[in-house]
Amino acid sequence: MIDFRYHLVSIVSVFLALAIGIVVGATAIKPELANRLNSATSAEAKANNVLYAHNQQLKDEIGADQAFAQAAEDSLLRGLLVGQHVVLVLAPGADSPTVDGVTTALQKSGAAVTGQVVLSQQFFDTGSVNEQALKSTATTATKLLPPGIASPNSAADAQISGQQAAAQVITAAIVNKDGIGTVTAKASQKVLTGFGNNGFLQVNDGNGNPVLTGQATMAVVVLPATVPPATTSGPFNLALISLAQDLRQASMGAVLAGSLKGSGPRSAIDAVKGGVPGVPLTTVDNAETVIGQIIVAQALNELLTGKAAPAAYGVRPNAVPSPAPSASPSPSASSSQPTRKKTRR
């Protein structure tokens, strides 16, 4: 049996040889090679410093742009949506800063926000049991609407047939084009309560009350704060886009908005910008910023006044700059005046 001391001596010898090799190798490097290495290191350091300086400059520019937007927000928004009523439809996981900022921008533009329809994750479940539950709830809810209500009809898709059936009824309950309540507040609330009781959505008026303040004439659909997982993003995005399309058809205009993080690859905005057939929707991909929130109101004004076709606004590839602010107040859809929200925190 080999003695342990033999192993110990062998290990020490290996490390000693390694150390000697490193020392010898280092001293054997030619001065010319060492100089080239030092020069390369110095050049890389200078290049890094230039990149850091440029990065800081870009940050300063973004900060200045945001400061300008905050200072000019009131004048840029004033009168854009006077007389309009806007409902916010929130996908599960929509972040509060984006929702609160968009709400404030809409109110500063003269719009009255009727409240929020908060969709649950269950609404987007495409399992056969849930699809049937959505269809059943939609069938029951349709009976609560007055006869003759024209339901929007986005292109049918078999994998989200339940979501589409539900979206048509929900849309009819929360928006209309002329600002006159074609569905009574009582009937609208019954429709939304039916979907709420089955776990598909929640409703609030922005002040903690589980009701909307009436039907809206325009809508903003807010994406989740992060993109859906790859395994579910396809049907999730299709269902959300289909709902946004129904809202667009049944109202004076609808915008699909999200934060920069939530508007990336696999998001609904990315799908719309990628060319989903037959879906002309206006999108805003930086709605978590003051600039993006101003764009949301301006984009609604563009749709309302017919100045521009649906387009992609924001900062991601294939997005165009913000539309120019309207020079005069938009046409009034009703005589009621919106209430103003407190200054942004």
pLDDT digits (tens, 9 = 90+) for 267-281: 999 999 877 655 689
Q: What is the pLDDT of residue 134?
A: 97
Sequence-distant (≥ 6) Cβ neighbours of residue 158 within 8 angstroms: none
User: How far apart are the C-alpha atoms of 192 and 25, rounded to whole Å?
Assistant: 78
Q: Is the pLDDT of residue 245 over 60?
A: yes
pTM, two decimals, is 0.77
| Per-residue pLDDT tens over the stretch 100-126 | 999 999 999 999 999 999 999 999 999
> Helix 31-77 to helix 96-108 angle, to the nearest 10 degrees?
40
Name, in order, each residue with C-beta under 8 angstroms of 243's C-beta and a sequence gap of 6 or more.
Answer: 89, 163, 167, 170, 171, 221
Between 135-139, 236-240, 302-306, 320-324, the lowest mean confidence (pLDDT) is in 320-324
Note the pLDDT of residue 75: 78
The pLDDT score that the predictor gives to residue 44 is 79
Q: Dihedrals φ, ψ of 159, to 5°?
A: -75, -15
Across 158-165, average pLDDT: 94
Q: Which amino acid, one-letter code, is at 138?
A: A
User: Measuring CA to CA, how many Å separate 187 from each of 165, 182, 242, 288?
Assistant: 18, 10, 23, 34
Over residues 46-56, mean pLDDT: 75
CB-CB contact of 207 with 165 (8 Å): no
